[in-house]
Structure 1
Amino acid sequence: MMPKPTRGFDSSEFEMRLQKAQARMHAAKLDAILLTTEPDVRYFTGFLTQFWESPTRPWFVVIPAAGKPIAVIPEIGAAGMASTWIDDIHTWPAPRPADDGITLLRDVILQLPRKFGRLGVPLGHESHLRMPAGDYAKLLADVNAFEVADASMLLHRLRYVKSPVEIEKIHYICDLASDVFENLPNSLKSGESERQNCHRMRIDLLERGADTIPYLISGSGPGGYDSIIMGPTDRIIETGDVLIIDTGATFDGYFCDFDRNYAFGSADDDVRRAYDVVYAATEAGFAAACPGATTSDVWAAMWAVMEKGGALGNSVGRLGHGLGMELTEWPSNTPEDQTELEPGVVLTLEPGMEFAPGKQMVHEENIVITEDGARMLSRRADPVLPVIG
């Protein structure tokens, strides 16, 4: 197990992020960017709290064209935000539905210098506002001195390339989850439910040091499974079943995201062959993942192996994605994506195929792009389908 990274970041990390953001803002002719979601707010401030689970209050951070971020937040978060590197903090006594910070936010935005007259807001793919639509409409009317422009791609590209300290945190949680998966055959039991088997895995993840486990799914069935996003359920595992478990556990706000497959008692030739195919597809995707290649190149390398291996189709729509502060991040490994890979990019490789009607086999690993190619962050799965005796 690798050493546990230091929690949090030095202010130099946030200064670097802000400097990059403001350079791109200048190029995009933006006077400011409005942030409203947990990952975006945390990326620029370091404000890490479970309180985002409550939908009652909106939270706002404004990135100006020059100077540090400005927080406009409920009073309940003032002490927490003050513990970060942010010092310009405006609060209101939320919840106050009649004016839940909108007037305060309006005043902050209108006091900013206007060079271009453009306010960036994430409005594109994989973005959401996390504030009432009515409040957003009122804000736009109140700040009509600014033209609103979509800032989602600017923010995606900022978070796309991870710093060494971000990669260290992702590597750590991948390493921890790898330990848990390697120990899992010792605790998996037929005659018990998916839920019971996954419960023991969840406990192991926590005892080894995972902070949270927001995502732990499973699917099972005789000779294969038909879903990779549901469960765990109360379905009893029986001899001849195949079980997939996929986990997204976190350390210090950063995710791992990979899965493992297990057969119980025995595995027929079709299941073993499907496992071999997706394993080989992962190898092909790993070899293709190098600086200058694209996410579409990675997709093509994996799909060629699965197509040759008899894949009937893929219902997932992509063969992997970005990974970091969120379980899934931009971009996607698809034929159309064409995002160029750079050193510091963290991706999942997730080849999955339907190998028989109603039967899937999906494999997933986590990698980072380096100057010399790809490096595994998760420890590679067993090259042969594990069979639980």
Structure 2
Amino acid sequence: MNGMGIGSIRTIQYDPFPRIEYEGRVERARRLMTEHAIDALLATSEHNLRYFIGEPSTTPQQTTRPRFLLILSSADPVAVVPEGIDQFYKDTTWLKECRSWPSPNPKDEGVSALARAVCELLPEHARIGVELGAESRLGFPAGDFLRVADAIKPRTFVDASDPVFTPLRMVKSPLEIDRIRTVCGLVSEAFENLASKLRLGMTEREACRQFEFECFSRGVEKTSKIVGVSGRGGYTRPYGVPTDKVLSDGDVLFIDAGCLFDFYWSDFDRHFAFGAADPHTQDAYQVVWDAAEAGIAAAKPGIPICDVWSVMSAVLNGSNNRGTATNIGRMGHSMGLWMPELPSVQPDDKTILKPGMIINIEPSTSYPSYFDGSPKLMLHEEVVVVTETGSQLLTSRAPRKMPAVAI
């Protein structure tokens, strides 16, 4: 990948994925389809369309002009898309066959066109896999989905998220890992440079806009999720958009950033103390840093992901923690073309780690404020890829001591 600057904004050049990458994904999907007696897949979400054909649209999937991709058991995939999008697909993807309908047409937004294609291409008792399972969604209205389901009978729709889409996308290819490594590296550099740009008296919004500028100046393409929360002696929640709250001495600023490069995500956070961090905050930071270190070391091929949760839980529940492990629901997840993706770092998730899986290591603890004893939160996140022998960091490791902003 090569970079070039436009003013103070850097653009990183890269080669698009080759056709063989997409054809390999389709073939792996077909093997899973055969294993689960699924005759065809219907992909409708923008993430699955990008995964299988490199759908290059920069906007989220819109229900006004939905797009459908039929992956058949043997023949080439067929797109059913609005007029105009068919030419767009022919110009920008590897697909050979696109069927279309005049759009927008609220009374029949692709329903008849999709039903007709399904009936022509698939036998009467075909089982068609769609995005119905955990952490998935359809890219067209539920009412239209029900109308298509009725029109194609006796063919039936079945869930393909759990048996096909999720396990297929869970293991990333070397090219996908390269995209994620790139964006994680760029955001790591932005975080590392941010402390010197922060000043007492800034607002949360100003601090986060400065961070976004640091990202764009290095080559990040989108900053899709920027959480910025702060508080004296710590923060109380890991969610929320930055506000006009002024950052003062004793405050801790938490920034959790989800950024994109060629549609692939990074997602991790960093902390900044305005003035020296108080003893309770610094102790909590160290405990969570140690828990993340344990999680990184535990992420190895062949183990259930719940083991990663267990080693982090042991650190958080140890004697060095003046607080308690939190119950946010999990201590990490995966990511790729979407964030988050399965599996989750939870005590009941038995997914076996495999080389090529991306794991966000994300332990957290609750601790009492140094100033008034009120509950505060400390959450830390790093990104690793599982390798043949262990795991490799894709982020630059956070410093052991929380960075301080000079007063």
Work out whether the TM-score is over 0.5.
yes
State the Cα RMSD in Å.
1.6
What's the % identity of the aligned pairs? 38
What is the match of residue 378 of structure 2?
A: 361
2-structure distance, mates of 1:160, 1:372: 18
Tell me the secondary structure at the aligned position of residue 90 of structure 1.
strand
1-structure distance, mates of 2:191, 2:381: 13
What is the match of residue 28 of structure 2?
A: 20
Letter in 1 for 2:381: E
Q: Are 2:383 and 1:374 aligned?
A: no
What is the match of residue 304 of structure 1?
A: 314
Letter in 2 for 1:11: R
Which sits farther off after the overlay, 376-385 or 125-134?
125-134
What is the match of residue 62 of structure 1?
A: 70
Kindly report which structure 2 residues correspond to 1:105-254, keeping only aligned pairs within 5 A, or say none: 105-114=114-123, 117-153=126-162, 154-254=164-264
Q: 1:112 to 1:242 in 2, by over 3 A?
A: same
Aligned with residue 314 of structure 1, among 323, 326, 333: 326
Post-superposition offset of 1:17: 0.2
1:239-286 deviation line (CA, Å, top 9, x unaligned): 000111111111111011111011111211110110000100011001
Unpaired runs of 5+ in structure 2? Answer: 4-11, 369-373
Contact 2:272–2:404 (CA<8 Å) still a contact in 1?
yes
2-structure distance, mates of 1:7, 1:233: 38
Contact 1:2–1:175 (CA<8 Å) still a contact in 2?
no
1-structure distance, mates of 2:242, 2:378: 17
2-structure distance, mates of 1:16, 1:179: 33
Tell me the secondary structure at the aligned position of residue 114 of structure 1.
coil
The number of equivalent residue pairs is 389
Letter in 1 for 2:142: A
Q: Are 2:337 and 1:325 aligned?
A: yes
Post-superposition offset of 1:378: 0.5
Contact 2:316–2:324 (CA<8 Å) still a contact in 1?
no
Normalization by structure 1: what TM-score? Answer: 0.96
1-structure distance, mates of 2:322, 2:347: 19
1:342-363 deviation line (CA, Å, top 9, x unaligned): 0000110011111124300010
Q: Are 2:272 and 1:255 aligned?
A: no
Contact 2:111–2:148 (CA<8 Å) still a contact in 1?
yes
Contact 1:240–1:267 (CA<8 Å) still a contact in 2?
yes
2-structure distance, mates of 1:68, 1:298: 40
Q: Are 2:119 and 1:102 aligned?
A: no
Post-superposition offset of 1:2: 9.0
Contact 2:83–2:101 (CA<8 Å) still a contact in 1?
yes
Contact 1:34–1:63 (CA<8 Å) still a contact in 2?
yes
Tell me the secondary structure at the aligned position of residue 144 of structure 2.
helix
Q: 1:5 to 1:17 in 2, by over 3 A?
A: farther
Contact 1:261–1:386 (CA<8 Å) still a contact in 2?
yes
Normalization by structure 2: what TM-score? Answer: 0.92
1-structure distance, mates of 2:37, 2:166: 17
Post-superposition offset of 1:291: 0.4
Aligned with residue 6 of structure 1, among 6, 14, 20: 14
1:37-63 deviation line (CA, Å, top 9, x unaligned): 100111001012123264422111111
Letter in 1 for 2:141: P
Tell me the secondary structure at the aligned position of residue 330 of structure 1.
coil
Post-superposition offset of 1:5: 6.8
Tell me the secondary structure at the aligned position of residue 214 of structure 1.
strand
What is the match of residue 350 of structure 1?
A: 362
Post-superposition offset of 1:114: 2.9
Letter in 1 for 2:94: W
Q: 1:110 to 1:30 in 2, by over 3 A?
A: same
Tell me the secondary structure at the aligned position of residue 257 of structure 1.
strand
Post-superposition offset of 1:189: 1.4
Tell me the secondary structure at the aligned position of residue 206 of structure 2.
helix
Post-superposition offset of 1:115: 8.6
2-structure distance, mates of 1:54, 1:121: 18
Letter in 1 for 2:342: W
Q: Are 2:304 and 1:294 aligned?
A: yes
Post-superposition offset of 1:79: 2.9
Unpaired runs of 5+ in structure 1? Answer: none
1-structure distance, mates of 2:250, 2:223: 29
What is the match of residue 385 of structure 1?
A: 402
Letter in 2 for 1:192: M
Contact 2:324–2:367 (CA<8 Å) still a contact in 1?
yes
Post-superposition offset of 1:132: 1.5
